[in-house]
Chain A
Amino acid sequence: QKEVEQNSGPLSVPEGAIASLNCTYSDRGSQSFFWYRQYSGKSPELIMSIYSNGDKEDGRFTAQLNKASQYVSLLIRDSQPSDSATYLCAVGDTGANSKLTFGKGITLSVRP
């Protein structure tokens, strides 16, 4: 059973701070990793994908991948109240189907 674990939340940060969200996965052969943002009552929205070790930056978001440690993280710089949401880590299947296995998510609250 492939597992994706996200550290327990909720996470609360002040506006303007850096929010750090972490995720570990069990399948060492995994090759694709994703972060989705989900507002309450809405569907997941893709915010970052990462396929290679290292950092990938997109605006205020940075995804970090360490395959040796089976660890992927998301940093949100200059956090805004509009960033308050649940963040889901997802890992793509190593088979041809590329189905995603999700963590339970971590709820981020950005305090004005």
Chain B
Amino acid sequence: DTGVSQNPRHKITKRGQNVTFRCDPISEHNRLYWYRQTLGQGPEFLTYFQNEAQLEKSRLLSDRFSAERPKGSFSTLEIQRTEQGDSAMYLCASSPAGREQFFGPGTRLTVL
């Protein structure tokens, strides 16, 4: 196993378009997290899954954002009607229950 993977690595889109990102966690990890990081800031929590259940969503996650983790394996994060303020690095992390979180390489989103 080579760790957490994320696709695409980079995404450039025009304002108003929809985008979807994918995260494949470390296979034995039942917890999956999404964070967002902007320049000069630490990552900020967006949402969290335990197996297939989405158990918490940050207030940062507006109704334009949706995340899924079907069958408790990979996860997708969709942003509808993108805005310039959505430009950021979107990070996925996985962990065994309650322990260290390991991050994927991230997806850098640029909204023009």
Contact = CB atoms under 8 A, between A and B. Distances in A.
A97 B42 contact: no
B96 to A, nearest CB: 10
A104 B40 CA distance: 7
Interface residues on A, range: 20 to 34
Interface stretch (A13-21, A42-50, A58-66, A75-83): A42-50
A97 B100 contact: no
Given A34-B100, A44-B103, A100 B43 contact: yes
Interface string B58-93: 000000000000000000000000000000010100
A88 interface: yes
Interface residues of B, number: 25
A101 B95 contact: no
Nearest to A34: B100
A45 B45 CA distance: 16
Given A100-B35, A102-B42, A104-B41, 16 more contacts: A43-B91, A43-B103, A44-B91, A44-B103, A46-B100, A49-B99, A88-B43, A96-B55, A96-B98, A97-B48, A97-B55, A98-B101, A99-B45, A99-B48, A100-B101, A105-B42
Interface of B: 31, 33, 35, 40-45, 48, 55-56, 89, 91, 95, 97-106
